[in-house]
Amino acid sequence: MTTATRYDVVVIGAGIVGSAIARELAGHQLSVALLEARDDVGDGTSKANTAILHTGFDAKPGTLESALVSRGYHLLSEYATHTGIPIEHTGAILVAWDQEQLDALPSLIDKAEANGYHRCQLIDAEAVYTQLPQLGPGALGGMTVPDESIICTWTVNLALATDAVNRGVTLLTSHRIDRVDAGGDATTLHTSRGPVTARWVVNAAGLGADLIDAMFGYCRFTVTPRRGELIVYDKLARALIDKIVLPVPTSRGKGVLVSPTIYGNVMLGPTSEDLQDRTDTATSEAGFEFLLDKGRKLMPKLLEEEVTATYSGLRAAIDHNDYLIETDAAQRYLLVGGIRSTGLTSGMAVAEYVRDQLAAAGLALVPRTDLPAPPRMPNIGEAFPRPYQRSDMIADDPAYGRIVCFCERVTEGEVRDACRSVVPPAALDGLRRRTRVMNGRCQAFFCGAEVQALLEREVGAPQPVSAAPAAAVTSQEAHR
């Protein structure tokens, strides 16, 4: 792989959107670098969301977001078949709890139709409870969205980044940008690891996109970190629900939902709280109380189940009602801002759009004919056979039969493979996202020492282990 510090294009931000853009551009005869301030890909906004593959039925018609979410749904669904990204096509039901919400459902049907999605249907309360028998009392009706799906957001990010690197992209982690020198025929990004020079720069920095934008002389938008807290219930709760239960959306977001996860759990959340601190991913007592109050109404029996963990993520909300993707041809700079949580679904379509915008601005794009096949990603979803269940894999390599994390049934072979992969983890959190190790009920209490030893053996960097992350609570604490 090249070690040059001058590239045709540098993409800032190795979340889902940035990784998708780097992968797309690397399909052409260009030298591309993917810069990330953190020490791993997908360690920012992309790692903590509701992990739903959206049809875009409720996007504002006529917006760029609407078009790209709709396109991205099909692109990512197809990409998942080639890469093994876990998806479950559960479908969703939008539930109306009062007359105002019930009266709003026909307009949501119209919005879905305007967005090109034609499979939503109105159903009465009886039909709602037939499909969701554990739902709390008081629902007046609902609307089905049969193609909403759950997906592994971690694997999406990792697949796109791995594909990009396989296509020749230089991945530069721990490269925080301190200042920018733009001008002439190249831009120099001064980073914490030294200067990186590019003919074109694409800013997909998520929560930091406005700060990078200001380095190019702009003051056109402000990112407000919007914290969303979630509660994850034990796998025994999965029998309560097999569909995504959505609220009627509001101007602040899609509201609190109940959803199965690809890992066999059930999730309740998120909250929606605007903050100033772009690093504040702590959970809060007020957030828990809010979610538990909502949960008692949505699905009372869910609160009787054990809590595996809680977590929070920050969405990059901006003072603009649509995606903000704009090109500055003079500086050879392109901004990708305000993608919010829908970037999981729209990421690959955003990458296509960015490609076309760069071409229109004068970047020569010559498609390559020697692209490698998409990577086949390890399966960490519960709906498909895992290594510990596959006698053929164990027969070929006994390491797939040695379980190191009993809560999540993660094997020594999977940990080893992750550490030796194209984009290996830099620390234990990255290993969690690649394998689910230490992500279960005990939160690394039983397996942490062994997992740390395996990581040290494979990667050679000692990593601290805590018995339980600060974001984790016991079920007793969550129900107080």
Of 165-179, 303-317, 388-402, minimum mean pLDDT range: 303-317
Query: Taking 50 as the threshold, does the pLDDT of residue 460 lie above it?
Result: yes
Residue 464: pLDDT over 80: no
Burial bucket for residue 288 (CB in 10 Å: 0-12, 13-18, 19+): buried
For residues 179 and 392, what is the distance between their CA atoms, to the nearest angstrom?
Answer: 53
Query: CA 425, 443, 269: angle at the middle one, nearest 5?
Result: 90
Q: CA-CA distance, 11 to 32, in Å (whole number)?
A: 8
- Among 260, 283, 239, residue whose Cα is nearest residue 87: 260
- The token pair at 440 is 């279960």
CB atoms within 10 A of CB 273: 18
Q: What is the pLDDT of residue 471?
A: 34
Give the pairing type, strands 194-203 and 333-337.
Answer: parallel
Name the pLDDT band for 254 (thresholds 50, 70, 90). Answer: low
CA 75 – CA 62 distance, rounded (Å): 20
**Which is more confidently placed, 139 or 253?**
139
Whole-number pLDDT of residue 468 = 34
* Rg of the chain over all Cα atoms, to the nearest angstrom: 22
**Helix (H) or strand (E) run with residue 225 in it:** strand 223-233
Give the model confidence (pLDDT) of 71-87 as tens digits.
Answer: 999 999 999 999 999 99
Strands 333-337 and 186-191: unpaired
Minimum mean pLDDT among 91-95, 136-140, 315-319, 388-392: which range?
A: 315-319
pLDDT at 40 over 50: yes
Confidence of residue 478 (pLDDT cuts 50, 70, 90): very low
Phi, psi of 297 (to 5 degrees): -80, -45
Residue 469: cis peptide before it, omega within 30 degrees of 0: no
Q: How confident is the model at residue 346 (pLDDT cuts 50, 70, 90)?
A: very high
- Summarised one tens digit per residue, pLDDT across range 412-454 is 999 999 999 999 999 999 999 999 999 999 989 999 999 999 9
pLDDT exceeds 50 at position 197: yes
pLDDT computed for residue 461 by the predictor: 53
Q: How confident is the model at residue 463 (pLDDT cuts 50, 70, 90)?
A: very low
pLDDT at 249 over 80: no
- What does the pLDDT look like over 53-73, one tens digit per residue? 999 999 999 999 999 999 999
Helix (H, G, I), strand (E, B) or coil at 345: helix
Please give the average per-residue pLDDT across 111-127, as a whole number.
97
Using one digit for the tens of pLDDT, what is the confidence trace for 370-380?
999 999 999 99
Mean pLDDT for the stretch of residues 172-201? 95
Average pLDDT over residues 338-359: 96
Mean pLDDT (the chain, rounded):
92
Percent of the chain with pLDDT over 90: 86
Output the pLDDT for position 251: 53
CB 425 within 8 Å of CB 459:
yes
Q: What is the C-alpha to C-alpha distance for residues 261 and 153, in angstroms, rounded to an integer? A: 11
pLDDT confidence bin for 1, thresholds 50/70/90: very low
CA gap 340, 129 in Å, rounded: 32
At residue 315 the predicted structure's pLDDT band, cuts being 50, 70 and 90, is: confident
Higher pLDDT, 279 or 10: 10
Return the ∠ at Cα 251 (arms to 245 and 256), rounded to 5°.
Answer: 25
Task: Report the alpha-carbon distance of residue 319 to residue 398 in Å, rounded.
Answer: 54
pLDDT of residue 49: 83
Strands (E), 204-247: 223-233, 244-246
